[in-house]
Amino acid sequence: MRELEAARRVAIRAGRLLERNQARPRSIRLKAGAGNLVTDMDHASEELIVRALRREFPDHAIVAEESGNTGDSSHRWYIDPLDGTTNFAHGYPQFAVSIALAREDDLLLGVVYDPVREELFTALRGDGARLNGAPITLSPVDQLGRALLATGFPYDHRQHIDFHLSFWREALQHAQGVRRAGAAALDLCYVACGRLDGFWEWNLHPWDLAAGRLIIEEAGGLVTDATGGPHRLSGEETVASNGRIHGELLAMIARARQR
């Protein structure tokens, strides 16, 4: 598929740009919210990606983290030029480039590139999910007590500490382990390839999760809202798993909400 090949190429180019510049002095500023950083490399990576996609697909719309929505088309590119900006700004090696294409509300392809590990996760609707070209599979874990979970906290977590810690506390009590690595796109890909068994997070944006959601779905996993209903890219709730622990994960989240 021409669009998938274009997304692969530009994700790798943008990722290599990020990696080359990670150790250099950076321009960092705050967006809305005390913890919401943006760096010069967020903008440089996004400019590279948007320019390349506009050149190849001038009629497509683009939804990008830094530049917002442009164009009016049933085909929309969702672009996160630097997922894990806080990690990147601190020199913590956990960040990625995330690109997805949708037609109306149907995700068609997803690409997530981790330049630190040189890992390229891809998915094409109806054609499975891959890591560096090889098919990936979900974990076989079928009990929450044996599961390794991941989560993240939104930038306004300081205003809702008790809410977010209630889920963390419940997970510590019932799962084998919990991780918070700070890059949702990679967390979703790690569920898809079996490194994690489940994931939840609130208030993600479409560009944060569009590619990762399709990669999980094409690997055979589940992505829903916190009640088990259909997931919406513009929704506030994201719960993902290998499918085998999904019911227990949803029940865990429901218990935490009642506390």
Same domain, 127 and 24: yes
* Per-residue pLDDT, 34: 45
Same domain, 70 and 153: no
The owner of tokens 């149907």 is 106
Dist CA 77 CA 75 (whole Å): 7
Same domain, 33 and 156: no
The sheet with strand 61-64 has its strands ordered as 68-70, 61-64, 75-83, 96-103, 106-114, 119-124, 129-131, 134-135
Any idea what DSSP says for residue 197? S
The two three-digit tokens of residue 196, written as one number: 């994690």
**Number of residues assigned to the chain:** 259
Report, as an integer, the average pLDDT of 177-188. 97
Same domain, 12 and 118: yes
Is the pLDDT at 156 greater than 70? The verdict is no
Q: Which of 33-47, 64-78, 155-169 has the highest mean predicted lDDT (pLDDT)? A: 64-78
Same domain, 124 and 159: no
Segment 199-238, tens digit of pLDDT? 999 999 999 999 999 999 999 999 999 999 999 999 999 9
Among 84, 107, 135, give the residue marking a domain's end.
135
* Per-residue pLDDT, 121: 98
Among 117, 135, 153, give the residue marking a domain's end.
135
Dist CA 102 CA 84 (whole Å): 23
Same domain, 107 and 10: yes
Dist CA 196 CA 218 (whole Å): 16
* Per-residue pLDDT, 66: 82
CATH code at 19? 3.30.540.10
- The domain tally of the chain equals 2
Same domain, 9 and 130: yes
Same domain, 170 and 92: no
Same domain, 203 and 251: yes
Same domain, 129 and 31: yes
Same domain, 92 and 193: no
Is the pLDDT at 33 greater than 60? The verdict is no
Same domain, 28 and 68: yes
Q: Is the dihedral of CA 146, 237, 168, 81 positive or negative?
A: positive
Dist CA 216 CA 214 (whole Å): 5
Concatenate the DSSP letters of all residues of 34-79 into one string: TT-EEEHHHHHHHHHHHHHHHHH-TTSEEEETTTEEE---SEEEEE
Point out the least confidently predicted range of 24-33, 175-184, 226-235. Answer: 24-33
How much is the mean pLDDT over the chain?
92
Residue 218 belongs to domain spanning: 144-258
Angle between helices 2-21 and 40-56 (to 10 degrees): 160
Give all strands (DSSP E) within 91-194, no chain letters: 96-103, 106-114, 119-124, 129-131, 134-135, 148-151, 177-179
* Per-residue pLDDT, 30: 60
CATH code at 224? 3.40.190.80
How does residue 163 score in pLDDT terms, banded at 50, 70 and 90? Answer: confident
Among 111, 135, 159, give the residue marking a domain's end.
135
* Per-residue pLDDT, 71: 74
